Structure 1
Amino acid sequence: MKKLLPLLAACLVLALSSFVFLRPTAEAGYQVGDKAADFKLKNVDGKLMSLADNKAAKGYIVVFTCNTCPFAQDYEQRVIDLNTKYASQGYPVVAINPNDAATVPGDSFAEMQKRAKEKKYAFPYLHDETQQVARQFGATRTPHLYVLTRQGNSFVVSYIGAIDDNSEDAKLVKTKYLENAMADIMVGKPAAVSSTKAIGCTIKWKKA
């Protein structure tokens, strides 16, 4: 028994260290129904932006995305189209790049500026340099979407997840998750399907 105690202790330490190592980098983040904290992030035009800036907004379609992820690139035109469709109805897109530029140079602020200009983004493209906002939201992928709905001076999370069910080809989409959710949200109803699995590249977190 005495010989077993050191072995058991060693196993316990190994198990605990493994748990710490495998713990997700992102925090649990928001759930549907939670109030989203406001933030201030730098837009590609060099100005700081917050949710409170747009007094006319009924809500926002917040998408965590980036330049380099193939999934984000496949969904890029669909994000542009979402802004075209919903911004005029009070729900503009706000794109946020949370990737660590030291890990992925193609996601640097300068490259974000180039991408936004090249693709003629009509929506903010914000740099989450500290990754704090991505952690607050609980974003894990690019793209990862959150629909926020205004309630008084607050914004409440109404949908979390994917745009649709086909990341590779918009022509093969069978279910438009986000648009279905928006149809409910915009008439004051909870989204029938308020959460789906985000499909994309993992966010590139800063190394500890």
Structure 2
Amino acid sequence: MLLAVALMSYRNASDGYKVGDTVQDFKLKNVDGKTVSLADKKDVKGYIIAFTCNTCPVAKAYESRIVALNEQFAPKGYPVLAIQSNDAQLSPGDSYSAMQERAKSKSYSFPYLYDESQTVAKSFGATNTPHMFVVKKEGNQYRVAYIGAIDNNQRDAAAADKKYVAEAVNELLAGKTVTTPSARAIGCGIKWRDA
């Protein structure tokens, strides 16, 4: 079964965005019932997009780091958008109502969006939870600047000596090229709906 999940993840990853690609805007329902798109905020410099979920132990281990990224970078123009793409039939703990409960209990200060059709995850090539994308605003478009893991220590944020997402955003804010544009995302495979 793990092999099947890995193969499905691999298939989807090859079809998704690569670093340097322009991202197609999307509209997804937030846990507050409102629709959110990239174009909503005119004053942003980009976004930190986190494909995550309620149920994966790895996603849970990184949850506080996603919250911290938003606290650190939203005021600088790079807010977090969290997206949950697991099929709720396969993973009931990731239903829309469960997402609402999680966002409320953890006091999320960023949108937690439901990708019910899984279209956005497929377009990005997201395979895991968490799977991070940093997109930089260029005019009215967004270009992928980083894809992959948050950092290099799944168990202990303090022990991570490579903080890939934070380093990428700091380099973009400084007008520099991202030194490490990708790092392998780790975590549970996204639970894909049967075709």
TM-score range, shorter chain: over 0.9
Write the distance in 1 (CA, Å) between the matches of 2:14 and 2:162: 29
Aligned match of 1:155: 142
Aligned match of 1:40: 27
Query: Which structure 2 residue ranges, 5 or more long, are not aligned?
Result: 1-6
> 2:82·2:113 contact (CA, 8 Å) conserved in 1?
yes
> 1:148·1:156 contact (CA, 8 Å) conserved in 2?
yes
For residue 11 of structure 2, give the secondary structure of its aligned residue in structure 1. coil
Aligned match of 1:17: none
Offset of residue 51 of structure 1: 0.4
* Pair member with larger Rg: 1
Offset of residue 22 of structure 1: 9.9
Aligned match of 2:170: 183
Query: Share of identical aligned residues, percent?
Result: 54
Aligned: 1:120 with 2:107: yes
Q: For 1:1-208, list aligned pairs within 5 A.
A: 24-25=11-12, 28-208=15-195
Offset of residue 37 of structure 1: 0.3
AA paired with 1:68? Answer: T
String of CA shifts for 1:86-130, please: whole Å, max 9, x gaps. 000000000000000000000000000000000000000000000
RMSD: 1.6
String of CA shifts for 1:3-36, please: whole Å, max 9, x gaps. xxxxxxxxxxxxxxxxx99972455201111000
> 2:47·2:81 contact (CA, 8 Å) conserved in 1?
yes
> 2:9·2:190 contact (CA, 8 Å) conserved in 1?
no
AA paired with 2:193? Answer: K
TM-score, reference length from structure 2: 0.93
AA paired with 1:66? Answer: C
For residue 111 of structure 1, give the secondary structure of its aligned residue in structure 2. helix
> 2:9·2:127 contact (CA, 8 Å) conserved in 1?
no
Report the CA distance shift for 1:159/1:21 in structure 2 as closer, same or farther (over 3 A): closer
> 2:12·2:125 contact (CA, 8 Å) conserved in 1?
no
TM-score, reference length from structure 1: 0.88
Report the CA distance shift for 1:191/1:64 in structure 2 as closer, same or farther (over 3 A): same
Which portions of structure 1, spanning 4 or more consecutive aligned residues, are displaced by more than 6 angstroms?
Answer: 20-23
Paired residues in the alignment total 189
For residue 185 of structure 1, give the secondary structure of its aligned residue in structure 2. helix
Report the CA distance shift for 1:141/1:22 in structure 2 as closer, same or farther (over 3 A): closer
> 1:25·1:205 contact (CA, 8 Å) conserved in 2?
no
For residue 71 of structure 2, give the secondary structure of its aligned residue in structure 1. helix
Write the distance in 2 (CA, Å) between the matches of 1:148 and 1:23: 22
Report the CA distance shift for 1:45/1:21 in structure 2 as closer, same or farther (over 3 A): closer
Write the distance in 1 (CA, Å) between the matches of 2:129 and 2:120: 14
Offset of residue 171 of structure 1: 2.3
Offset of residue 193 of structure 1: 0.6
